[in-house]
Amino acid sequence: MIFEPIQIPWTILGLFIVFNVGLILTGTVRKIGARVGRRRGIRIYQPYIDLVKNYALRSNFTHGMMFYLAPVFRLSGGVGLIVFMPLIYDSVHFSNFSFAGDAILIMYFMFFGTLGMALGAGEGGVPFSAIGISRGLSQVTAAEIPLILAFLAVFIQTESFSITEIVAAQQGGFLNWTLFTNPLATATAMLAFLGSMMRSPFDIVLAPQEIPIGPPTEFHSSFLGVLSTNRAVFPMAKTILYVNLFFGGATSWPELILKSFLLYMWSVVVGTIYPRFRTEQSIRWFMKYPLILGVITILVLQFG
Amino acid sequence: MDFGQIAVSVGFLLILIGVWGILTQKNIIKIVIGFSVFDTGLHMIMVGIGYVKGGTAPILDGAIAPGTAPINIVAGIVDPVPQALVLTAIVIGLGVTALMLAYVVRLYEDRKSLDISSYEDLKW
Amino acid sequence: MVNLILINPIYIIGIGLGTAFLLGFFKKGKSVAWALMLAALAVMTYISFTWLWSFIFNGQLPEQVYTAGFKPPFSINLLMGKSEAFFTFLISFVGFLGGIYLFDKLKEQGTHAISVYLILIMGLNGIVMTRDIFNLFVFLEIASIATAGLIVLTPDIKAFSAGFKYMIASGLISGFLLIGIIFAYYFGGTLNIDFLIQADLLAVKGGVFAVFLIIIALLLELKPFPANGWGIDAYEASPAGINAVISAASAGAVYYVLSKVLPIADAKWYTVTAVVGMITFLGSNLMGIKQADAKRMLGYSSVGQVGLLLVFLGLSKQLGINFEFIVFGIIISHYLAKAGLFWLAGIVKTGKLKEWGILRRKPVLVFFMGTFIFALLGLPPFPSFFAKWTLVMTLSAAGMNLWVGLILLGSLVEAIYLFRWLGYTVKLDDNKELSLSTPLYKTIPVWVFGLLTYYIGYLSSTMVPGGSSLSMFYIPLAFVGVLFIVDKFLPVLIKNTVSIAAMAYYGWYYMADLTEFRMLFAIIFIGGGIITLIAGYAKNGKRIGFYPFAMMMYAGLAGLLLSENILQFFISWELMTLGSYILILRGKKSMPHALSYMLFSLGGAFLILAGLGLAYASSGANSISLDILKNVNQYSGLIYAFLAVGFMTKTAAIGLHIWLPGAHAEAESDVSPMVSAILLKAGMFGLVVLMLSMGSQSLGGVSLPYLLGWLGAITAILGNIMAVFQEDAKRLLAYSSVGQLGYVVFAMAFMSHLGWLTALAFALNHFVFKALLFLAIGGVVMRTKTKTMYEMGGLIKRMPFSFISVLIGIIALSGLPPLTGFAGKWLSYNAVIEKGWYFQGFLVSIAGLVAFLYCFRIIHVIFLGQPKDKFKNIKEAPLPMLIAQYILIGAIMLFSIMPNMVLKPVGDFLIQYFPDGALQWQGGTAISRLGRWSGVAIMNITMGIFGIIFVWLLFISRKAVKVKPFNIFYSGEAPSRPELTHFGYNFFAPYKKAVGFLVQPLVTRFWYGLADILHSISDLVRRLYNGNGQTYAFYVIIFMVVFSFFTIGG
């Protein structure tokens, strides 16, 4: 595969679809959450309104260079993930720029946005944002540890880093999905998944009760707009990656959207049931069950 | 047991006594005396070793008939070499004793003590 | 060569004795007497010199000197052979210089003292030359009485009590010697040593008794451990000038006597001598550790060195033809160094080691002190180095590995206290209340011996086997020498420029032909060197003592790459260690860290030496080419392990890492990048040479690369976790280096194409970003005068360029695409899966995650958050440092966009070593069996997205108002203590709570515990020396009894 200019419009289209799906999904989830709590909830399209409002706000201030760069880093991270990932299996148009790299690239690119975001919030100068970042980084890295194990297991199993090849290996019936061919790895990954979706019990970073103001509070108006754009893209990117690695990928948009939705709901369900962890509790939690599961997975592959 | 053997035996005895004195006496003058005894024993051994039974003094005088073949002269006199050596040894021993006593004087002037355990400033 | 007129050696004795008597007439004219003594000593020295000259250059044959008109055995005869000429020359020469040095003391005490001094030198000369054993006894007595007299040259109570103890012990010893002599005469019928040897005393019944007494008495004269308290006390009490003579001349003389008398005994006695020597060497050095007084410590060291000589004597048969060279090297080093150090001790006057800082008032004396210490410890380019090298090679070839091990162990222990002392001198306070008097008559001897040390070192280098190959060091070391000479006069600007030019020139003319690995490392060493030197323009003044040592380090590094044989390699290794040690020592608080750096490095170097010795032996002992590592026949596992551990003291693998954080963090701003980004790679180069030559080896059934893999992985993760919890910015970076080098070792252990490509990518990358980070942080530290991160904050406004450097640095470090760091990560995943070391690979991946934490921390806490009041007007880092940083950033960018530019050629030459699993390259895209990676595409896409979003955000927020940090949440009013609003201390507290137990300083505790044990043992054992003369005498007797068990009894 090499780069051809025609890929650019197709990639943008894919990105656009993912973005919209992400926004709608956010709205839907919040609606469901409200209904479960016997509230009326927001309109499904409320995220669109919020986005437009943020971009349109006239009061606007900045703290400096890094403050500018932070949302840019963040959104580039989210968009980059989508762009480097094939969305639809075996589709010429929606393979995006996946020729540039493979799953390893995706794994490391996930941190690109995190870093910029953290730096920007840091420049705001409010100690609470730094505290929030410290907690967030601690938790994300802790969650990432079992995740790496699960990913490694998949790579080892299919002997490839290429997402396309990993999906190809899962074709031909749902029993070929990693979910069934390597349930241990999938279980590990699903537990780790919770840690990066910013939902209870792992949402202390954003929790208003814990620190009065967290990193996102630092940003407002158009900066916040860019960030909320990313809030739609980034979880979708992550979910799609999971779909590709563990749930047989998708051969069409509806399949992708359905699978993503169900996967997304997993974190929502857990989040509604379990109360919040403190940071060191969540680190310990990740160091226990997911890590042990993951290590077993790897040891089975290495010595089994 | 001829004279030489007696001298050697007594010499060893004196050496033992001297070493015993050096190792056990706390008084530094007595230690110096220990050395003198040690040296005396040593000198006796030296002389005793050179002794030839029935030999005369190693001087070419009347005791040896003129014209005796050299080989017979050697058999007839005690070995002159240890006797020469012992002279040197005595001189050296004297020097050592004198030096030690000089030290004792200085040490005593300073601390008014002759006990060797008073002079343990330098250690470890 | 010029023929010198030979003068009958009897005149050495005659002149000495005659002048001493003559001096009695000069009761008043003390200066005249002193001058007369010097003249006599000069003539004595000259006589020996003429002989030495003739023996060396004119093929002179040894000559007997008969006395009293008879031939031996009927008269006393003297022998003047090459050894005698050598030893008498040494004795008279140090006597001469020592005489100059003692000017004030001798003048104070008058003519008697002057005569006694002359008599001592004469006696020592006699000891060396005489072939008559009774005459020997007489000379020994003369020397020992004279010594006892000179001990009290400074007449105080300590001196007298020490002199008395000395007399007790030496009196006993000479008594036993005399008994031995008389019995030797009785059984052997002669007093002539040569005839006694022929008489074969041991064959005669009872003769063994004579042999026993003679040899043990001579051994005891050499102050064997532990029957040597009397000698040590004398060293402490007597004036330093006398000590110099006792240590340099007396020890040599008695040693030589023993070596000429020992042939009356048989092989068993040689072995016992060697064992006694070894015990003395180890025991004395162990005790040296606990000493606080300079002269006493040097006394222990002297005794230890003589012990080492005894070892050689005992092993002389095994050392064969190399015996002379080895003894020469050690003796001459000991002679020059110990005399020099004692003289320095006399200049400093204060006994306390911790007050030696006053010596810094005369930097040149500190320079010579360092010279002497390095010479004592056998570091290049000093004679003892070549001796030790030859020794290890010879002993290894003879299969005597235990001896090699013990000798190296003893040397390491000796290094502990000598380097600690050097550290005190260079770093501790210069107490203004103490005076330092340096009259010419005291400094000249030091100068002479100091310079001679270098000259003899050069001579030795030409004599050692393979010495002709050492000419490669001449040019760089000559340059270093010139730098030393001009160091005091030139400003930084000139020295820096000259150094950069010299490195560029050297790199261009000598290293441009290097290929493969060597070329790669040449880029790191020389290129890195030049870049870090550019940063040096930021310094003002003269920076005395920096450039010579920096250049020495780089000379060593370059030498490693140019080495073709193990001798060149090892010398380079030591030069590099030496230079870097001084560089590290220059830091403000780096004294203890420099010491631990040096000790670990020396320990590592000794392991390398032992490994090379084994390799030399096991490959047939006929070549010193580096290729012998390929032909190792036995001990291959052991050699591999020794060398690997030795090299890993430099890469700071976990367990051997405790020196690194302090050493790197406390070093100066531009030294940190040198020692961290560049120097560590020397260890890696060592591993490259080792692994390419020896492949995979196993020890005890365990594959060593496999172990290395685990070690590397564990080092990576623990190093990084430790970095997370540091509050000190430079320590954080230092620990990060530990972790990063862990990656390198891990990847090299794969022994596969991809593994090595990974390792080299990591190494190159680490070199660039660590140099960048250390320079940037160094610049910040220079301005803020603190390294503690939470004391900073908000510096982005004041130091934006440094901020960008750090930002680029941490992105490269953490391996985020699109910068270079990702190359290593991607390659390592490929290599891990190919190799099947999943779990270790997983550990390394986590290490990468952890790195992300500290990367964020260092940039956030320093540059972001609330600015501190006191740093409100701080300036950006100096321009030269920024220039150096931006050159490095350029390198990172280039490598990020075109990784193929470097990795493809590297992969190409790796194919010949590891043909399988090479990457395919399609332009800038790397394709492995598992995946693909296109640096240029990633860079373009990322930058494209980034750019678009950035422009868009700029557009939509074009009306944004710039606000000050407190404007929003504090309503524009600064809180009373803004430092409370900066979150920086204990940044990752939750992590510490959760996994802090992983980084308990267990390793540190282990090494400190070891050090404590060593100190406790030293403290315990030295209590043997309770200061009581009788106890010392008792030890003499005990020593005899024990010795008799092993010789007569056994």
Report pLDDT digits (tens) over A129-184.
788 888 888 888 888 889 989 999 999 988 889 898 899 999 888 888 989 999 99
Does residue B66 lie within any of the structural domains?
A: no
Residue B83 lies in a domain: yes
- Nearest CB to B99: which of C145, C165, C1027? C145
Enumerate residues 6+ apart whose C-beta is below 8 A from A286: A142, A143, A145, A146, A191, A192, A195
In terms of Cα–Cα distance, which of C283, C338, C347, C350 is closest to C310? C283
Could you list the residue range(s) of the whole structural domain that residue B82 is in?
3-54+75-118
Question: How many CA atoms, within 13 angstroms, populate the side-chain half-sphere of residue C646?
Answer: 26
* Overall size of chain B counted in residues: 124
> Does A contact B via 3+ CB–CB distances below 8 Å?
no
Residue A205: predicted pLDDT: 72
pTM of the model: 0.92
Could you tell me the two tokens for A278? 């403190």
Probe site for chain C from B32, B103, B113 (most C CB atoms < 10 A): B103
Chain A neighbors (3+ CB pairs < 8 Å): C
Q: Which of A113, A82, A96, A86 is nearest to A20 (CA)?
A: A82
Mean pLDDT to the nearest integer, B74-96:
85
What sign results for the dihedral spanned by CA atoms A296, A300, A303, A304?
Answer: positive
CB contact under 8 A, B123 and C149: no
Residue for token pair 């695409």 = C817
> What one-character-per-residue DSSP string does C837-883 give?
-HHHHHHHHHHHHHHHHHHHHHHHHHHSSPPPGGGTTPPPPPHHHHH
Instruction: Give the separation between CA B10 and CA C992, rounded to whole angstroms.
Output: 81
Distance CA B97, CA B29 (A): 10
Structure tokens at C808: 């680029």
Any idea what DSSP says for residue C926?
Answer: E
Q: Please state, in angstroms and rounded to a whole number, the distance separating the CA atoms of residues A112 and A91.
A: 27
- C7 C-beta neighbours (distance < 10 Å), count: 16
Secondary structure class of A62 (helix, strand, coil): strand
Token reading at C367:
């320079």
Rounded CA separation C361/A272 (Å) = 74
Residue A211 above 60 pLDDT? no
Q: pLDDT at residue A209 above 70?
A: no
Classify C130 as helix, strand or coil.
Answer: strand
Contacts of C1028 in chain B (CB under 8 A): 116-117, 120
CA distances from C97 to C10, C38, C86 (A): 22, 9, 17
SS3 C698: strand
Find, in chain B, the residue whose alpha carbon is nearest to that of C1029. Answer: B116
The parts of chain C modelled with pLDDT lower than 50 are none
- Contact check, Cβ <8 Å, B116/C1033: no
Contact flag A64-C983 (C-beta cutoff 8 Å): no
Q: What's the alpha-carbon Rg for chain B, to the nearest Å?
A: 20
Residue type, C211: V
Rounded-to-integer distance, Cα C872 and Cα C798, Å? 8
Specify the number of domains making up chain B: 1
Please report how the helices C133-151 and C251-261 are oriented relative to each other, as an axis angle in degrees rounded to 10.
160
Token digits for C961? 């108002």
Question: Are C945 and A76 inside 8 Å of each other by CB?
Answer: yes
What the block records as the tokens of A292 is: 């042990």
In this complex, do A137 and C929 lie within 8 Å of one another by their Cβ atoms?
Answer: no
CB contact under 8 A, C1025 and B124: yes
Per-residue pLDDT band at A214 (split at 50, 70, 90): low
The helix (run of H) or strand (run of E) holding residue C551 is: helix C547-562
Is A118 close to C937, i.e. CB distance below 8 A? no
How many whole angstroms separate alpha carbon C571 and alpha carbon A88? 62
Reference C30, options C119, C104, C87, C86; nearest CA is C104
CA atoms of C520 and C508, how far apart (whole Å)? 14
- Is C645 within 8 Å of C607 (Cβ atoms)? yes
Q: Per the domain annotation, does B101 fall within a domain?
A: yes
Which pLDDT value is given to residue C282?
95
CB-based burial label for C902 (10 Å; 0-12, 13-18, 19+): buried
Name the closest residue on chain C to residue A123, using Cα atoms: C864
The rounded distance, in Å, linking the Cα atoms of A238 and A187 is 16
Q: Which two tokens stand for residue C154?
A: 């400074």
Residues in B closer than 8 angstroms to C1023, CB to CB, are: 124
Which pLDDT does position C60 carry in this prediction? 87
Of C167, C175, C1034, the CB nearest to B99: C167
How does strand C702-703 pair with strand C920-922?
A: unpaired
For residues C28 and C280, what is the distance between their CA atoms, to the nearest angstrom?
Answer: 45
In the DSSP assignment, the letter for residue C322 is G
Q: Tell me if B32 is assigned to some domain.
A: yes
Q: Which residues pair with C132 in a beta bridge?
A: C192
| Cα–Cα distance, C1013 to C1006 (Å, whole number) | 10
Q: What is the pLDDT of residue C970?
A: 63
Chains touching chain C through at least 3 C-beta pairs below 8 angstroms are A, B
Which residues of chain C does A69 touch, with a Cβ-Cβ cutoff of 8 Å? 950
Answer for the pair C325, C309: CB distance below 8 angstroms, yes or no.
Answer: no
- The answer, yes or no, to whether residue B59 has pLDDT greater than 50, is yes
Q: Is the pLDDT of residue A212 over 80?
A: no
Q: How far off is chain A from C687, nearest CA to CA, in Å?
A: 27
For A146, phi and psi rounded to 5 degrees? -65, -30
Q: C 237-276 residues with CB below 8 A of B?
A: 237
- Return the closest-CA partner of residue C255 out of C318, C181, C307: C307
Structure tokens at A261: 């939705």
Cα(first)–Cα(last) distance of chain B, in Å? 49
Is there an interface between C and B (3+ Cβ pairs < 8 A)?
Answer: yes
Bridging pattern class, strands A61-62 and C961-962: parallel
Question: C452 is written with which tokens?
Answer: 């001679």
Task: For chain B, list the contacting chains (3+ Cβ pairs, <8 Å).
Answer: C
Q: Is C830's Cβ below 8 Å from some Cβ in A?
A: yes
Separation in Å, CA of C864 to nearest CA in chain A: 5
Task: Report whether A109 contacts C850 (CB < 8 A).
Answer: no
Query: Who's near C913: CB < 8 A, 6+ residues apart?
Result: C692, C756
Residues 343-402 of C with CB under 8 A from B: none
Chain C positions touching B4 (Cβ under 8 A) are none
* SS3 per-residue string spanning C37-74: HHHHHHHHHHHHHHHHHHHHHCCCCCEEEECCCCCCCC
Nearest to A123 by CA among A58, A76, A61: A61
Q: Do chains C and A touch (3 or more CB pairs under 8 A)?
A: yes
Region A283-297: what's the mean pLDDT?
90
CA C587 – CA C667 distance, rounded (Å): 4
Contact (Cβ atoms closer than 8 angstroms) between residue C742 and residue C649: no
How far CA B96 is from CA of C124, C229, C360, in Å, comes to 18, 20, 43
pLDDT band at A30 (very low <50, low <70, confident <90, very high): confident
Closest residue of chain A to C859, computed from CA coordinates: A119
Give the residue among A208, A205, A236, A239 at the shortest CA–CA distance from A131.
Answer: A205
Bond into C226 cis (ω within 30) = yes
Where residue A219 falls (left for φ over 0; alpha for ψ -120 to 50; beta otherwise) is: beta
| CATH code for the domain in which residue B23 is found | 1.10.287.3510
Identify whether the C-beta of residue A102 lies closer than 8 Å to the C-beta of residue A185.
Answer: no
Chain C, residues 289-308, CB within 8 A of chain B, namely: 290, 296
B19 contact residues in C (CB cutoff 8 A): 172, 1037
Residues A69-99 as b or e (16 or more Cβ within 10 Å = b):
bbbbbbbbbbbbbbbbbbbbbebeebbbbbb
B29 vs C550: CA distance, rounded Å: 61
pLDDT score for C965: 65
